[in-house]
Amino acid sequence: MTTKTSGIRLSVAADTCGWLAEKGSAMKRLLGVACVLAWATAGTASAQTTGAGYAEALTTSLASVAKAMHATIRRDLAEAAVSMPAEEYGFQPAPETRTFAQLVGHVVNANMFFCSQAGGEKSPATANYEQLTDKAALVKALNASLELCDRVYGATTDATFNQSVKVGPGVGMGAADTVRGAVLMFNVAHNNEHYGNIVVYMRLKGHVPPSTASGQRPPR
């Protein structure tokens, strides 16, 4: 893509984002804010990293790829949960969206479910974490869920990546016959999806997300 063409597309994207941010329902305005944030950082994206670069993360070992992807997103999630002030855990950009606390709790629920299913063990979950509102309790639960995933990802090898597993029914979902690696990759994708939500929440409250902050730190 040429510089001129790239500039035109960014300009169109900016206009569209601005329209979304100013018009329509509360949800459209929230999408517009997220769009503006994405557009505003597009020019400097190449200078920011969210962990290992693709040259290090992408190998011929699918188990190693899954571990590398998990290591990056688990760090960003853990740091975001800690850095968001306790008094802002109830922040809700629009009435139809989750609060920040509910976002973190949703991620905890998913990590507990998917990683225990991939590992063929009983979930250690003791509650519906999306109902918690206390920061300390949510940070503790998030760390526990991430440590569970650390163990399952760490124990996954190329030999067990394609091991058959049966994922039990979840909220609004039926059971599924799949393989261990697919569940772990699905969990990484789900964590990244909701970290994207968390980034918007943090930006709206004036905080720098961990993935951006790590890219701004001077090299050691």
Q: Which range, 14-28, 47-61, 168-182, 196-210, has the best average confidence (pLDDT)?
A: 196-210
pLDDT at 102 over 60: yes
Helices (H), the chain: 3-22, 26-40, 54-57, 62-83, 100-119, 135-155, 158-161, 180-204, 210-216
Do residues 13 and 37 lie in contact, with contact meaning Cβ atoms separated by under 8 Å?
no
pLDDT at 82 over 80: yes
- Helix, strand, coil shares, percent, the chain, to 5: 70, 5, 25
Q: What is the pLDDT of residues 16-74, one digit of tens each?
A: 344 333 444 444 444 444 444 444 444 333 333 345 567 667 777 999 999 999 999 99
Mean pLDDT of 125-131: 95
Mean pLDDT of 123-136: 96
**Domain ranges in the chain?**
1-47, 52-216
Task: Give the pLDDT of residue 173.
Answer: 77
pLDDT at 216 over 90: no
Question: Which CATH superfamily groups domain 52-216?
Answer: dinb family like domain (1.20.120.450)
Q: What is the pTM of this model?
A: 0.75
